[in-house]
Amino acid sequence: MNISHLLELANESGGTLYLMLVLLLVALTVIIERARYLSNMQHGGEQIIAMLKREDGGLLPQKLARLPHGRLFDVLQHAPASIDRATFDGHLEEAIMHEVPALDRSLWLLDTVVTLAPLLGLFGTIIGMFNAFHILGDTQNGAAQVTGGIAEALIATASGLFIAMIGLAFFNALHTRVRIVLHQLETIKVMLLNRHDRLQPRVASGVSNVKSIAQPSISHPAARA
């Protein structure tokens, strides 16, 4: 089966095979983007949890601070030392709620591809079967042409099922990673709650040191004179 034959099948399918190609590209784009994003998230969360276990959770490195996990440290940074546990818990939970939508972003596209691809493949097969029976109505055409047309019509269904299987496998895998990252966020929240009294002064002093380094004091010329 060469390229020209595939193009001929795509043209005879009423354009459904071209739509299948678009669905496949959409699925692969979402899979690659989400896999990289969630992998970085999971790895960064493991590093932050390890830092908190060592009680080395002062200012985070810039790479980790950009992660949703690092947003919890922003809450720690701005929380007063005298804040009670329930209020601090509420602020941390609010920060997590703001970050959750970014975790499963675009996964709805993959879910749509999984649902739509088999239906679109069935639609393409129906069009192919219609063409095959149209050939059957012509007495000059033999049975081989009819059976060949039916076999070609089933390619659309096979393509739809293939795309759906790939999409479903990766959708479940990515969904599992989302749950892992959510568990990491909850774990970091509990660890910050339990270590708030020890970490908050360290974070506050770290911020003040950074500001003093970034903005060195400049004496006025008149004062020097």
Instruction: Evaluate whether residue 20 is within a structural domain.
Output: yes
CB 64 within 8 A of CB 41: no
Instruction: Evaluate whether residue 36 is within a structural domain.
Output: yes
Q: What is the pLDDT of residue 13?
A: 61
Q: What is the pLDDT of residue 16?
A: 81
Instruction: Evaluate whether residue 108 is within a structural domain.
Output: yes
Number of H helices, E strands in the chain: 8, 0
Q: What is the pLDDT of residue 6?
A: 62
Instruction: Evaluate whether residue 50 is within a structural domain.
Output: yes
Tell me which residue of 118, 130, 111, 123 sits closest to 159, measured CA to CA.
Answer: 118
Question: Could you give the number of structural domains in the chain?
Answer: 1
Instruction: Evaluate whether residue 194 is within a structural domain.
Output: yes
Instruction: Evaluate whether residue 148 is within a structural domain.
Output: no
Report CA torsion sign: 64, 67, 73, 77. positive
Whole-number Cα distances in Å, 21 to 5, 14, 146, 151, 221: 16, 14, 26, 20, 70
Structure token pair of residue 26: 């959409």
Residue 112 belongs to domain spanning: 14-117+160-199
Query: What pTM was estimated for this model as a whole?
Result: 0.74
Q: What is the pLDDT of residue 145?
A: 54
Q: Which residues of the chain have pLDDT under 50?
A: 206-225
Instruction: Evaluate whether residue 130 is within a structural domain.
Output: no
Q: What is the pLDDT of residue 11?
A: 65
Q: What is the pLDDT of residue 181?
A: 93
Q: How far apart are CA 105 and CA 45, in angstroms?
A: 18
Instruction: Evaluate whether residue 170 is within a structural domain.
Output: yes
Structure token pair of residue 150: 């039916």
Q: What is the pLDDT of residue 102?
A: 87
Q: How far apart are CA 22 and CA 114, in angstroms?
A: 13
